[in-house]
Amino acid sequence: MLLGRHRIQSWVNGSTMDLTGLRLAVLAPIAWPTPPAGYGPWEQIAFNIADGMRRRGLDVTLFATGNSTFEGKVSSVVPVGLNEDPALNGDVFTALHVGELFARADEFDLIHNNFDWKPMTYALATKTPPLLTTIHGFSSPQILAAYYASAWRSFFCSISDADRDPGLSYLATTYNGIDASAFTFRATPGDYLVFLGRFHPEKGTHLAIEIAKRAGVRLKMAAIPHDKEYFRTQVEPHIDGDQIQFLGAVEREARDELLSNALALVHMTTRPERFGLTMIEAMACGTPVLGANMGSVPEIVVNGVTGFVCDTVDDAVMRVPQLASLNRNACRSRVEITFSVDRMIDRYLDAYASAVAMELPLAPTQEQLAWRARDWWDRPMAYTDIPPKPRSFGFNEA
């Protein structure tokens, strides 16, 4: 292990470990560049991790698209993001992207995977170097097969306490962090609500529209059409260019202006939120959040201080007139103290020290094994898609 000046305490035996000079591979997704110009939360966090670790003195190589921007070393097999050029074969370049990293695995002391379950399967053939996977969300029940099969090989971090599978062990909850200084703070509230992200039933765009209409407030929506049928049937008919506005996907300066001038961000999800990066981006601008009381929202939003955590749409409508009275400085401070890049890096450095010291995860507990044998469709965390259960799994039909 290369030695230097940054000493981190490992929870394994209480000893300190110097991580300066640690050869770190950060694997980012390749849907968008790292960092993205607009939408691309996983890519944004992968960048924040890579850049934050570089600033702390680690020797970082970022595996990302060729048009990514990073002051350290970048390795790429695809020139642009898969969503930027639809002619690119996602299956081919995803496999090559992951394969390129593991072909070079012996160059690194630690691999930090931010690209879901597939990279873990590549690691099953080896025991080194240590692998840490940040679980940015569970897309569907069947990916638990990959997580359980890889649990002996990969350490895990969650992005909220709410988004944890009881069949897995976690080194830490490492809340996402952003650079608050990159967002314009405005002390005076605006007069419109904003919806930001992607159009999908789980993100609750239809609820944001209902809230805005019932409260008599304008709603500005800036999102990508993840679910085109949902957008066509549940969102588009309400767009009138006045009270309900669709701005398309917004990037950088336009995104910052949209958030900072808003009365509040509406985040009334219909399934438990994993983290919700847009919530802390809004709060960095001083803009409070009107969020659903499920998943990570109560961990992110301080009810009555940085927004309102709502049980129902009726509750959210009632809270709209109170939004302007909230102290927008409190929103900004919440991000600077709890959800900054530096705070996220501190948490990850602790996790890195433990992973390097342990090399491989501990064996699962009996309780975790029991959960792994249970119906994978019966879990406390959210899934993006819930397909039918394969009969061959032996789970009872819902």
Q: Is 181-338 a domain of CATH 3.40.50.2000? A: yes
Which 8-state DSSP code applies to residue 35? S
Cβ neighbourhood burial of 358 (10 Å; 0-12, 13-18, 19+): middle
3-state secondary structure 276-330: CHHHHHHHHCCCCEEEECCECHHHHCCECCCEEEECCHHHHHHHHHHHHHCCHHH
Q: What angle do CA 179, 182, 184 make, to 5 degrees?
A: 125
268's enclosing H/E stretch is none
> What residues contact residue 291 under an 8 Å CB cut-off, 6+ apart?
267, 268, 269, 273, 276, 279, 297, 300, 301, 307, 308, 309, 310
| Cβ pair 196, 260 in contact under 8 A | no
* Cβ–Cβ < 8 Å for 206, 269: no
Return the residue matching tokens 């944004």. Answer: 44
Where does the chain hold its CATH 3.40.50.2000 domain(s)?
7-177+342-358, 181-338
Burial of 82 (C-beta count, 10 Å sphere; 0-12/13-18/19+): buried
Q: What is the pLDDT of residues 79-126, one digit of tens each?
A: 999 999 999 999 999 999 999 999 999 999 999 999 999 999 999 999
Contact 112, 132 (CB under 8 A): yes
Stated length of the chain: 398
Query: Which residue has tokens 């995977």?
Result: 113
Q: Strand 7-9 vs strand 16-18: parallel, antiparallel, or unpaired?
A: antiparallel
Q: What is the pLDDT of residue 39?
A: 86
Cα–Cα distance, 32 to 213 (Å, whole number): 34
Specify the 3-state DSSP secondary structure of 7: strand
Longest dimension (CA), the chain: 61
If one counts every other C-beta atom within 10 angstroms of the C-beta of residue 337, the result is: 10
φ/ψ of 271, rounded to 5, equals: -130, 155
Here the tokens at position 93 are 């370049």
Closest C-alpha among 216, 263, 272 to residue 244? 216
How do the pLDDT tens digits run along the chain, 398 residues long?
333 334 444 444 444 688 999 999 999 999 999 999 888 899 999 999 999 999 999 999 999 999 999 999 999 999 999 999 999 999 999 999 999 999 999 999 999 999 999 999 999 999 999 999 999 999 999 999 999 999 999 999 999 999 999 999 999 999 999 999 999 999 999 999 999 989 999 999 999 999 999 999 999 999 988 899 999 999 999 999 999 999 998 988 999 999 999 999 999 999 999 999 999 999 999 999 999 999 999 999 999 999 999 999 999 999 999 999 999 999 999 999 999 999 999 999 999 999 999 999 999 999 999 999 999 999 988 788 889 999 999 886 54
- End-to-end, the C-alpha distance of the chain in Å comes to 51
Please state, as a whole number, how many other Cβ atoms lie within 10 Å of the Cβ of residue 212: 25
Q: CA-CA distance, 128 to 358, in Å (whole number)?
A: 11
Q: Report how far residue 237's alpha carbon sits from residue 215's, in angstroms, rounded to the nearest whole number.
A: 19
Distance CA 55, CA 240 (A): 47
Domain 7-177+342-358: CATH architecture, name and number where available: 3-Layer(aba) Sandwich (3.40)
pTM for the complete prediction? 0.91
